[in-house]
């Protein structure tokens, strides 16, 4: 009774405790399947170990470059304080940021790939893996390309001796024996292997050849460049590569190529300035020669050797104004030349900023230097971006704005100079009126002298700037320098073996977990007690373990096995479900064949007989009788013979069993064509009433109620109905039949009896392989063949 109460309590509390029971179920399932997890973990860790050991390593290589501050660089000597305000005046991005983009440009990586022939790699081949080699390679590969587009190929090379080797490629059908330093003509290129460091022993190597573009696409993601921090102009470079020494060489070559390009840009600016100065010197020199020639002719024609002493005072006063006028004229001449160059929007030539006379207004010199810096920044950016790139468009807008601002400033400055010149000319006009007393020859003499002085000063100024520019060009250095050369880390950063082992361990746990989850998800049969409690509220009266003895009868007088004790426990529980003071009819049914009705009814009857109760078995499964076969008795002259005959004494067909003097059997007899009609016969009711007068328990083994209606026809005689459910056999959906019997059909005293529980898993929570007692039904395609031995012993 206590077990029945416990079962009922579990069913009432099942819904509220479902989550707790599920957790217990999961933990139990994991523990019960520990061998599966152990094997999975061992296999995954073994795979992880092999992967970590034989996967190619990658080294992290780093270096550092310093970008010089333009305010303190060499150009500051020419541009004054221009660079300190360039960013604020024209919203130019930090030069260090621009240098980062240049370093990451595809053109720079292209130069490095071509110079170092990085699209060709050599490997040393061993049994388990191949390792790339660099300067330790026994030969150098020289290619002469026949086409621009290359298809990647791998060639196996076997050194035969000091002078010959064998080159093979199965994909192209290449198998050639050749000598070193001799060209081999292939489809895409001619290849020459030059001896370098041939080993003493022969070996196997491999050479991979791909296109330059493919190599660039492979190397570029491995290279990174970025500012060390926002306040500095140092750039950290990093590169990842499987061969540390080759990775260092690649990164060093990239930095050197960057510095070389930077220096070329500086030289281009100096060359542009020198070209402008030379052009202006030629123009001024021609003008100076003309003035001196005219002055010389004038003095010869007029026999002038000196200026009269009386005009010295007046000339001295007028000379200061003439000097100022000459200064203004020179400035206007230079401004006109600059305007002529800037008026053409398509002219991107850098302006010679040192030619501006900054003593009057330094703003022009600063603006021109800013314009030159913008041109330089745009040219550098052009290495990384196309003209349609927003960065290039931004530079174009900034250049146009800067050019417009310079032109506007030049116009304003020229207007101011013109006004000043007019004032000087007016003052000179005053002196001219005062000098009218001086002979005209003397005035003409002074005019020539002033023109000659102006030309001379401009000529000397240009010569000075030419020398300064030449010196600057010769001493030009890059605005960046290497702080730290490329250096690889001591150990490879990849593969990370600890992480690989952890991942292997996790995968080893996940795979069997997924397997068990899918297996459980696809399981449509009753597997655990929770399945029953979740699907029905009918009480469980007993639980019978898996029968390992391979015989139908397990409960005998001296049996002490676990399963026999479970039948004794079922016998005890039955006392609380029936009235022991009167005879009781026990009906066994199930959802389908193969769930163990005959086995359970036989052993429960035997257990009841051991308590001196008289028990009779009625084999009323008239379609596929198995009870008599399990007991080992003849099935002839049974119930069907009696029910269709005129006989009235049921004792004529009762058979005594061999295992107990208190047990008798009424076998089914021949299989009839109309079993349902025989079961509704009024003669059956009289038979049961007669049996109640002689027996304490009448056990009816009838057909599965899930297949035919025979059990419902017999239910009216039963005091207790046992609905048999077999673990890993009965479908979960078939518990709806139990609910329907209880709720809609009104079957009284309905109990579930669980069969074939796998005791090794601590309850019915895992999958198993059948059980040992023998019986079978053919309904619905479910059939079992059994071989019955004498006295009911059977094997499947």
CATH homologous superfamily, domain 529-768: P-loop containing nucleotide triphosphate hydrolases (3.40.50.300)
3-class DSSP state of 375: helix
- Indicate if the alpha-carbon torsion angle 625, 627, 631, 634 is positive or negative: negative
Q: Which residues of the chain fall below pLDDT 70? A: 1-22, 69-94, 200-201, 302-318, 347-348, 352-364, 431, 433-443, 472-477, 759-796
CB-CB contact of 182 with 192 (8 Å): yes
The domain locations on the chain are 2-56+495-522, 59-78+96-260, 263-484, 529-768
CB-CB contact of 111 with 253 (8 Å): no
Q: What is the DSSP letter of 218?
A: H
Supply the pLDDT for residue 608.
93
3-class DSSP state of 225: strand
Neighbouring CB atoms inside 10 A of 556's CB total 14
Cα radius of gyration rounded to whole Å, the chain: 55
Supply the pLDDT for residue 442.
67
CA–CA distance, 764 with 727 (Å, rounded to integer): 7
Task: For residue 185, count CB atoms less than 10 angstroms from its CB and return exposed for 0-12, middle for 13-18, buried for 19 or more.
Answer: exposed
**Residue 633 CB partners (closer than 8 Å, separation 6+):** 655, 657, 658, 665, 667
CB-CB contact of 575 with 607 (8 Å): no
CB-CB contact of 234 with 150 (8 Å): no
Instruction: Report pTM.
Output: 0.50
Task: For residue 343, count CB atoms less than 10 angstroms from its CB and return exposed for 0-12, middle for 13-18, buried for 19 or more.
Answer: exposed
CA–CA distance, 486 with 480 (Å, rounded to integer): 16
3-class DSSP state of 56: coil
CA–CA distance, 372 with 341 (Å, rounded to integer): 13
DSSP structure string for 298-367 = HHHHHT--S--GGGHHHHHHHHHHHHHHHHHHHHHHHHHHHHHHHT-TT--PPP-GGGS-TTT-THHHHH
Supply the pLDDT for residue 548.
79
CB-CB contact of 454 with 326 (8 Å): yes
CA–CA distance, 796 with 780 (Å, rounded to integer): 20
Supply the pLDDT for residue 374.
80
CA distances from 347 to 282, 338, 380, 381, 623 (A): 22, 12, 18, 18, 108
Supply the pLDDT for residue 689.
92
CA–CA distance, 234 with 407 (Å, rounded to integer): 36
DSSP structure string for 462-528 = HHHHHHHHHHHHHT---SEEEEEEEEE-SS-SBS-HHHHHHHHHHHHHHHHHHHHHHHHHH--B--S
Partnered with residue 179 across adjacent β-strands are: 164
Supply the pLDDT for residue 70.
56
User: What is the H or E stretch that residue 139 is in?
Assistant: strand 139-145
CA–CA distance, 4 with 782 (Å, rounded to integer): 32
CA–CA distance, 453 with 90 (Å, rounded to integer): 39
Q: Which two tokens stand for residue 535?
A: 């699907």
Q: Quick one: which of 717, 633, 710, 697 has its CA closest to 669? A: 633
Supply the pLDDT for residue 691.
93
CB-CB contact of 452 with 287 (8 Å): no
Supply the pLDDT for residue 201.
63
3-class DSSP state of 455: helix
3-class DSSP state of 755: strand
- Tokens 């009839």, residue? 672
Supply the pLDDT for residue 235.
92
């Amino acid at each position: 009774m206590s077990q029945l109460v416990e079962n009922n309590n579990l069913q009432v509390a099942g819904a509220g405790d479902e989550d707790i029971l599920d957790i217990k179920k999961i933990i139990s399932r994991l523990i019960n399947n520990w061998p599966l997890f152990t094997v999975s973990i061992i296999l995954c860790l073994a795979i992880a170990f092999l992967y970590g050991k034989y996967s190619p390593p990658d080294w992290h290589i780093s270096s550092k470059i310093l970008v010089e501050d333009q305010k303190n660089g060499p150009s500051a000597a020419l541009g004054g304080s221009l660079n300190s305000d360039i960013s604020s005046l024209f919203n130019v991005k930090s030069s260090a940021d621009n240098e980062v983009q240049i370093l990451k440009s595809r053109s720079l990586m292209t130069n490095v790939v071509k110079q170092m022939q990085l699209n060709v790699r050599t490997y040393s081949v061993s049994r388990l893996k191949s390792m790339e080699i660099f300067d330790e390679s026994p030969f150098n590969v020289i290619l002469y390309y026949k086409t621009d587009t290359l298809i990647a190929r791998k060639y196996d090379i076997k050194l035969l001796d000091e002078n010959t080797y064998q080159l093979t490629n199965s994909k192209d059908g290449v198998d050639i024996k050749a000598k070193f330093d001799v060209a081999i003509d292939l489809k895409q290129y001619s290849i020459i292997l030059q001896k370098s460091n041939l080993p003493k022993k022969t070996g196997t190597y491999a050479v991979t050849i791909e296109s330059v573009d493919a190599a660039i696409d492979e190397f570029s993601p491995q290279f990174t460049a970025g500012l060390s921090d926002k306040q500095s102009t140092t750039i950290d470079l990093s590169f990842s590569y499987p061969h540390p020494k080759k990775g260092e060489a690649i990164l060093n070559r990239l930095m050197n190529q960057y510095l070389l390009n930077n220096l070329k840009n500086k030289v281009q600016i100096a060359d542009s300035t020198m070209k402008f100065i030379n052009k202006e010197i030629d123009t001024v020199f021609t003008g100076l020669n003309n003035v001196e020639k005219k002055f010389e002719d004038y003095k010869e024609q007029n026999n002038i050797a000196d200026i009269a002493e009386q005009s010295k005072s007046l000339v001295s006063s007028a000379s200061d104004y003439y000097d100022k006028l000459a200064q203004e004229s020179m400035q206007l001449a230079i401004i006109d030349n600059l305007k002529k160059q800037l008026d053409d929007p398509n002219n991107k030539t850098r302006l010679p900023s040192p030619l501006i006379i900054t003593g009057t207004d330094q703003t022009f010199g600063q603006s021109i230097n800013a314009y030159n810096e913008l041109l330089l920044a745009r040219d550098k950016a052009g290495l990384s971006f196309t003209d349609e790139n927003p960065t290039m468009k931004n530079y174009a807008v900034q250049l146009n704005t800067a050019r417009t601002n310079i032109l506007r400033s030049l116009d304003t400055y020229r207007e101011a100079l013109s006004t000043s010149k007019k004032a000087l000319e007016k003052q000179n006009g005053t002196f001219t009126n005062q000098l009218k007393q001086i002979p005209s020859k003397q005035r003409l003499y002074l005019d020539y002298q002033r023109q000659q002085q102006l030309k001379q000063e401009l000529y000397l100024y240009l010569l000075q700037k030419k020398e300064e520019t030449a010196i600057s060009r010769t001493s030009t250095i890059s605005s960046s320098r290497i702080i730290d050369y490329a250096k690889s880390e001591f150990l490879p950063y990849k593969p990370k073996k600890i992480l690989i082992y952890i991942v292997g361990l996790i995968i080893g746990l996940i795979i069997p977990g997924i397997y068990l989850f899918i297996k459980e998800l696809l399981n449509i049969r009753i597997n655990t007690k929770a399945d029953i409690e979740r699907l029905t509220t009918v009480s469980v009266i007993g639980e019978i373990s898996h029968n390992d003895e391979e015989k139908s009868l397990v409960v005998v007088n001296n049996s002490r096995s676990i399963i026999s004790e479970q039948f004794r426990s079922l016998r005890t529980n039955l006392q609380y479900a029936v009235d022991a003071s009167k005879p009781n009819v026990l009906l066994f049914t199930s959802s389908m064949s193969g769930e163990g009705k005959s086995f359970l009814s036989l052993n429960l009857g035997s257990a009841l007989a051991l308590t001196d109760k008289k028990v009779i078995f009625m084999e009323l499964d008239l379609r596929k009788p198995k009870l008599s076969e399990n007991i080992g008795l003849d099935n002839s002259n049974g119930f069907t013979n009696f029910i269709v005959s005129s006989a009235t004494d049921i004792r004529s067909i009762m058979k005594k069993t061999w295992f107990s003097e208190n047990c008798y059997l009424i076998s089914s007899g021949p299989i009839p064509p109309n079993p349902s009609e025989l079961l509704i016969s009024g003669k059956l009711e009289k038979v049961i009433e007669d049996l109640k007068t002689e027996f304490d328990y009448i056990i009816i083994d009838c057909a599965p109620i899930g297949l035919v209606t025979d059990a419902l026809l017999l239910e009216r005689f039963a005091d207790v109905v046992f609905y048999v459910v077999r673990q890993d056999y009965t479908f979960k959906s078939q518990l709806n039949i139990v609910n329907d019997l209880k709720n809609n059909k009104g079957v009284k005293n309905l109990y579930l009896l669980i069969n074939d529980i796998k005791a090794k898993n601590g309850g019915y929570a895992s999958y198993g392989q059948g059980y040992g007692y023998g019986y079978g039904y053919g309904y619905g395609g479910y059939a079992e063949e059994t071989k019955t031995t004498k006295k009911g012993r059977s094997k499947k």
